[in-house]
Amino acid sequence: MRKRNLLGGLLLLALPWQAGAELNVQVAARVVSFLQPPPNGAVQAAIVFQPGNAVSEADATSIERAIGGGVAAGRASIRTRRVPISSLGTLGNYRAAFVTAGLRDEQPGIAAAAARGSVVTITSDQACVQAARCVVGISSTPRVQITVSRAAARAANVRFGSAFLMLVKEI
């Protein structure tokens, strides 16, 4: 029964009337809710971006807009704060981090900071997940797909419930 409810919750997020960054944030919130142990209360999430990088700044703005004052993640509520690349040392203060687009050269440093702080990194850049530098990748087209890097999750000491892992693509 629980597996069916989980699947139904993830499938609802794939409805065609949801698109763009909003869809990714909603899926990301659902992903955060399956962390082990499950988060409760306010969950601080970083939006890792690079000042002066137009692509990264635009992605950060989209994520902020989609989250607004907070977004539900199971029994938790995700609230965000921008964290510039120059402040990666503070990443350990967060449970999750959205890695914006346009940061390919910065991904090794982000991965190292996330591993030190046990932070789940979430991105729409599938190459980051394939390189084991980001834990979770979410793509929206042609359909919603969640990819989890086992190596990045292990490095950051991030665990998900087994029912969740049966529904996503692990690499």
Tell me whether residue 6 is in a domain.
no
Here the CATH number for the domain that contains residue 72 is: 3.40.50.2300
> Would you state the structure tokens that stand for residue 63, as one six-digit string?
């994520």
Q: Assess if residue 15 is contained within a domain.
A: no
- Rg of the chain over all Cα atoms, to the nearest angstrom: 14
Tell whether 8 is covered by a domain.
Answer: no
- Residue 117 maps to a domain: yes
Is 28 within a domain? Answer: yes
Q: Using one digit for the tens of pLDDT, what is the confidence trace for 54-68?
A: 999 999 999 999 999
Residue 78: exposed, middle, or buried by beta-carbon count in 10 A (0-12, 13-18, 19+)?
buried
Range of the structural domain that residue 56 is part of: 21-164
Residue 171 within any structural domain of the chain: no
The Cα-based distances of 106 to 40, 65, 68, 93, 101 in angstroms read 30, 24, 26, 19, 11
Q: How many CA atoms lie within 13 Å of 132's alpha carbon, on the beta-carbon side? A: 9
pLDDT tens readout for residues 5-41? 444 444 333 333 333 333 478 899 999 999 999 999 9
The verdict on residue 13 lying in a domain is: no
Dihedrals phi, psi of 118, to nearest 5 degrees = 55, 50
Name residues whose C-beta falls within 8 Å of residue 33's C-beta, 6 or more positions apart in sequence. 39, 73, 74, 75, 76
Whose CA is closest to 77, among 88, 89, 90, 68?
68
Number of domains in the chain: 1
Residue-wise pLDDT tens digits, 77-124: 999 999 999 999 999 999 999 999 999 999 999 999 999 999 999 999
